[in-house]
């Protein structure tokens, strides 16, 4: 019995003083995230216009490298997918034909380019060195279209079907956020990003 009580006493004392010590010292510093996030929702009517909106930071300091992983635009089931692709300036985009018909890719933008016409399983690439909006069209199937939005910094996102977006890894600071849509007038909004925080944004787009 005696050993039981002394054992318990030591246990209780350890807990009490251990707890006190932790309270005094505080929790160990977590590796603080030096960047923040911007998240939110774009509203528009009709609801389908909430999707495929490019939300991006207009101007940010720094020099940025294109991603090692090259994004792709697929031509599949007679459609470009994704319909809207946002990329950092300097990024190489791969164009894939996944249909058993031949497709072409050309654009009237960027001084007009034509990547040619090719068959199933083949790929072409293009480097987008200048920022801007580039329509992607197919001269065989006039109903096909897509957009590549080339941006000066990597702080961008494309909204999902509900109009939601999230941009992570943004250095703290005050910025202008812009929303670009194929069909609606662009909108801008000031935004402040804090380290470790998420700034919530609501944007409304109109025609």
The binding site for Cu ion (CB under 5 A) comprises 103, 138, 140-141
CA atoms of 67 and 60, how far apart (whole Å) = 17
Q: Taking a C-beta distance cutoff of 8 angstroms, is the pair 137, 144 a contact?
A: yes
Closest residue to Cu ion: CB criterion? 138
Q: What's the min distance (Å) between Cβ of 140 and Cu ion? A: 4
Q: What's the min distance (Å) between Cβ of 84 and Cu ion? A: 18
Q: What's the min distance (Å) between Cβ of 154 and Cu ion? A: 30
- Give whichever of 6 and 98 is closer to Cu ion, judged by the CB atom: 98
Q: What's the min distance (Å) between Cβ of 144 and Cu ion? A: 5
Nearest to 50 by CA among 58, 61, 42: 42
- Give whichever of 146 and 158 is closer to Cu ion, judged by the CB atom: 146
- Give whichever of 50 and 103 is closer to Cu ion, judged by the CB atom: 103
- Give whichever of 49 and 97 is closer to Cu ion, judged by the CB atom: 97
Q: How many Cβ atoms sit within 10 Å of the Cβ of residue 19? A: 10
Under the phi-then-psi rule, with left for phi > 0, alpha for psi from -120 to 50, and beta for the rest, what region is 111?
A: left
97, two tokens: 């034909």
End-to-end CA distance of the chain: 82
């Amino acid at each position: 019995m005696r050993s039981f009580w002394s054992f318990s006493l030591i246990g209780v004392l350890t807990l009490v003083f251990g707890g006190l010590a932790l309270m005094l010292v505080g929790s160990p510093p977590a590796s603080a995230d030096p960047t923040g996030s911007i998240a939110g929702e774009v509203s528009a009517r009709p609801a389908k216009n909430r999707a495929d909106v490019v939300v991006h930071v207009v101007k940010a300091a720094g020099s940025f490298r294109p991603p090692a992983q090259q994004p792709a635009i697929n031509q599949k089931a007679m459609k470009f997918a994704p319909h809207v692709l946002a990329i950092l300036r300097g990024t190489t985009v791969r164009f894939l034909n996944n249909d058993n018909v031949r497709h072409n890719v050309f654009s009237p933008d960027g001084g007009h380019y034509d990547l040619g016409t090719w068959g199933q399983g083949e790929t072409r690439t293009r480097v987008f060195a200048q920022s801007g909006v580039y329509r992607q069209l197919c001269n065989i199937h006039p109903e096909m279209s897509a957009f590549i939005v080339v941006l000066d910094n990597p702080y961008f996102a494309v909204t999902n079907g509900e109009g939601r977006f999230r941009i992570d890894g943004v250095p703290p600071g005050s910025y202008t956020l812009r929303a670009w849509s194929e069909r609606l007038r662009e909108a801008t909004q000031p935004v402040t990003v804090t380290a470790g925080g998420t700034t919530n944004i609501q944007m409304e787009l109109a025609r």
